[in-house]
Chains A and B, each alone.
Chain A
Amino acid sequence: MAIARAERLVNLVLCLLSTRQYLTAERIRAIVPGYADAATDEAFFRMFERDKTELRDLGVPLEIGRNAGVEGPDGYRIARRDYELGDIDLEPDEAAAVALAARLWDSPQFTGAAHGALIKLRAAGVDVDQDVDVPVEPKVRTSEPAFPPLLAAVQEGRVVEFDYRRPVPVEVRRRTVEPWGVVAWRGRWYLVGHDRDRRAPRCFRLSRIVGEVVASGKAGVVQRPDDVDLLSFVARSEPPAQAVATAKLWVARGRAQGVRRRARHVGEQEYDGVPGDLLEIDLRFPDSAASWIAGFGPDVLVLEPDVLAKTVREKLVGALRGAGVRA
C-alpha cells in the first residue's frame, strides 16, 4: 500500500531536521519512505517538487546548498534554529489576551492564520483557553472587495492603481499609490500610502474604490517610511470635531422619542392647535443634526437657531421635490 503523503512529508521534515549535511534529491529518494513509490525519475521529481512547495507554503525553511568539498548537485536541509519557534511562556492573563486576539477576526485572510498561530503556541506549551470570559468581544471583518488585493500589494511592496470616487467635489479618478498599509478605523477600512499623482501621503477609504485594484511593477519597490504610524495617520485625517451648538425645539406631545431622549425639557407650548414640549438639545454635528431633525417631519420644529431652522426647511422642501411633488 502506498505510504500516505502526509506521512512522507513528516518523515521528510524529520530527516532534513536531523541532518547537518545537505542531502541531494537522489539521497532523499533513497532514504525517506514513500519516494520509492515513484516508478520513474520524472514521477519522483514531480513528487519532490510538489512536496518542497507544500513545505515552503507552510513556512518550513528549506536550505539549499552543497557540502564543503563535494561535487555534484545541490542538496537540502532544515536548520533547526530557523525552523523552531523560540521559547515562549505566557502568564495566564497574557494567554487570555492571545485567545481574545485570535478570535478578533471574521476574515478569510486572517481567521485561519490566527488559528494556525494558536495551534503553534499551544504546541510550544502555552495553554490558551478559547472559552475565556471577556468583558468585550471585538470582531473585525475584511469584507471589502478591495481588501485582499491591497493587503497583498502592501505585503509584497507593489504599487497599486485604482479608480477612486471622491464625494465632494464629485469625481472618479485613477490613482496610483505606493501602499504602506491597510487600516481599520472606527469600523471602516482605509489604505494609507504615498499618492504618486499628488506627491504626498494620502488616506483612501476602501468603500470608495470603484472596480478592480491593479498591482503593477515589481515586488519590493514600495518601502514604508519608518516613522509612519498608520493608525494615527488615519485618525489625523478625520475632520475635526465641531463646536457643540445648543438648539431650541418644539416637539409634539408624545412624539419623536429619538429627540426627547437626548434633550432637556424646558417648557410646554401649543402650536397649530397641537400640544407639545419645548426642549433644548446640544448638537455636536450641525449638518447631520439638521437631517436627523428633518426626519421627524411635523413632529419637531426648530425655534432656534435660525440657521438650523433654515437648513431643516431646505431638506423638507428637497424631500418634497424628491418625492415628485413641486413645492
Chain B
Amino acid sequence: MNASSADRLPRLLALVPYLLARPGIPIDEAAADFEVTPKQLRRDLELLWMCGLPGYGPGDLIDLSFEGETVTVTFDAGMSRPLRLTAAEATALLVALRALAETPGVADKAAVQRAVAKIEAAVGQARPAGVAVGLAMREAPETTLVRDAVSAGVRRGRALHLRYYTPSRDEVTDRVVDPMRVLLVEGRSYLEAWCRIADGVRLFRLDRIDAVDVLDEPAAPPPHAEPTDTSEGLFRPDPSQRTAVLVLEPDARWVAEYYPVDSLTELAEGRARVLMRYADTAWMTRLLLGLGGEVHVEQPAELVEAVARRAEAALRRADHLLAT
C-alpha cells in the first residue's frame, strides 16, 4: 500500500454521506473539500459504484447519478452517516478548540464553546484528553493596543505604517507593509506582511512594533507573496549565518533551548559546548555581554575580540562614572 491509499479508505467511507448531504454538488468542489484532484475523486466514485449490499444486484449497489459536472447519491446502501471520530481525531480537534476558547482575541469564545459542546456530544468524548494547550501570552498593555490596530488592518485589508524595532541591528525604522495575517506561534504573536522596503514576506513581532497606523490605501501583497510555512519553526538555518563555539555554564544552559544550536556536547560539571548560529556579530556580542560569567566564547576570533573590546570599554566608562 502506498501513502495515498492509506488515506483512501477513510475518504471512501466519508464520501457517500458527504454527497448525500449535498445533492448535485460539483465534482470539483467535492474534490477540493477532500483535498484530492477531481480525477482522483472520479476514481473514488467509480469504485463506490461497484460497492453495495450482499446480493450485489442493480438494486443493492451504491447508486450515483451524474449530471454535467455534478453528482448526486440516489442509493446509499446503508452508509448514510460518517464513521465516528477516532480518539486521536477527537483529541486533535477538541484540544485545539479548547486552546482557542481560552485565548482572548483569537476567536469568538462563545462560538468556540458551543462548537466544543456540540462536538463532544456527537463524538461522545466527555473527559478531556491528556493534552492541553494554552496560547495565552504574557503581554504588555502597549502590545494589546498594537494587536488591535494590526488586526483591524488585516480585517479591513489596509496597508499599515509600522515603526519597528529590529534587535539584530538595534535600530528603529519606519516602513509601510501589506498585512497578510497575524500568527501566534510558540507563545508569541507576529504580523506576517509583505514588507515594501525588504521586498519580501516578513514576520514582525507585535511586541517590537512601537507604533502602527492603519492607512487608507488597500493592502496589496503581490500575488507571489507566500505565507510562511510554520511547520519547521519560524526561523530557518540560513547559509549566510555564522557559527560560534560557546561553552555554557550550567546557569546559561537555557541558551541552548532558546536559540538555534546545531550540536551540544556535554562537558564536566553540567557545562556544555554548543555550536550556535547567528546572523549578526553586533547582536551576538550583546547577547554574550549579557551572559557574562556564564559563557566562555571559543570561536570565532572576531567575536571573542568584539566581546572583549565592548566589555573593556563599558568597564572603563563605568569606572569613569564612579570617579566623577
Contacts and interface: CB of A to CB of B under 8 A. Distances in A.
Interface string B60-85: 00000000000000000111011111
A69 interface: no
B33 A318 contact: no
Number of chain A interface residues as a range: 35 or more
A309 B135 CA distance: 36
B28 interface: no
A301 B318 contact: yes
Interface in A92-147: 93-98, 100-102, 104-106, 109-111, 113-125, 133-141, 143
Contacts of A213: none
Contacts of B270: 165, 170-172
Contact of A123 (B18, B77, B231, B287): B18
A6 B8 contact: yes
A29 to B, nearest CB: 12
A167 B252 CA distance: 9
A313 interface: yes
B105 A136 contact: yes
B290 interface: yes
Interface residues of B, number: 130
A15 B135 CA distance: 45
Nearest to A118: B93
Contacts of B170: 256-258, 296
Contacts of A151: 130-131
Given A110-B92, A235-B134, A104 B310 contact: no
Contacts of B124: 86
A298 B314 contact: yes
B317 to A, nearest CB: 5
Interface stretch (B194-202, B235-243, B294-302): B294-302
A170 B294 CA distance: 13
Contacts, number: 410
A317 B310 CA distance: 11
Among B8, B10, B310, max chain A CB count under 10 A is at B310
A199 interface: no
Contacts of A179: 130
B190 to A, nearest CB: 10
A295 B97 contact: no
Contacts of B82: 84-85, 119-121, 123-124
Contacts of B123: 85-86
Nearest to A302: B318
Interface stretch (B51-59, B218-226, B273-281): B51-59
Contact of B308 (A96, A113, A323): A323
A291 to B, nearest CB: 3
B247 to A, nearest CB: 9
B105 A139 contact: no
Contacts of A71: none
Interface of B: 1, 5, 8-15, 17-18, 21-22, 33-35, 47-48, 50-54, 56, 77-79, 81-93, 95-97, 99-100, 102-103, 105-108, 111-112, 114-115, 118-119, 121-124, 129-138, 147, 151, 154-155, 165, 167, 170-172, 181-189, 210, 230-231, 233, 250-251, 253-254, 257, 269-270, 285-297, 304-305, 307-308, 310-318, 320-321, 324
Task: List 3 A-B pairs, minimum CB-CB distance, nearest first.
Answer: A318-B293, A187-B187, A319-B292
Interface of A: 4-7, 9-11, 13-15, 17-18, 31-33, 54, 58-60, 82-91, 93-98, 100-102, 104-106, 109-111, 113-125, 133-141, 143, 151, 154-155, 165, 167-168, 170-172, 179-188, 207-208, 224, 230-231, 234-235, 250, 256-258, 261, 271-272, 274, 290-298, 301, 303, 309, 312-325, 327
Given A5-B1, A6-B47, A183-B133, 13 more contacts: A6-B9, A6-B12, A84-B83, A85-B122, A94-B115, A104-B133, A133-B155, A137-B184, A180-B130, A186-B136, A295-B285, A322-B296, A324-B297
14 contacts: A58-B10, A97-B100, A115-B35, A117-B85, A133-B155, A135-B154, A138-B106, A181-B130, A184-B133, A186-B187, A271-B317, A271-B321, A301-B318, A323-B288
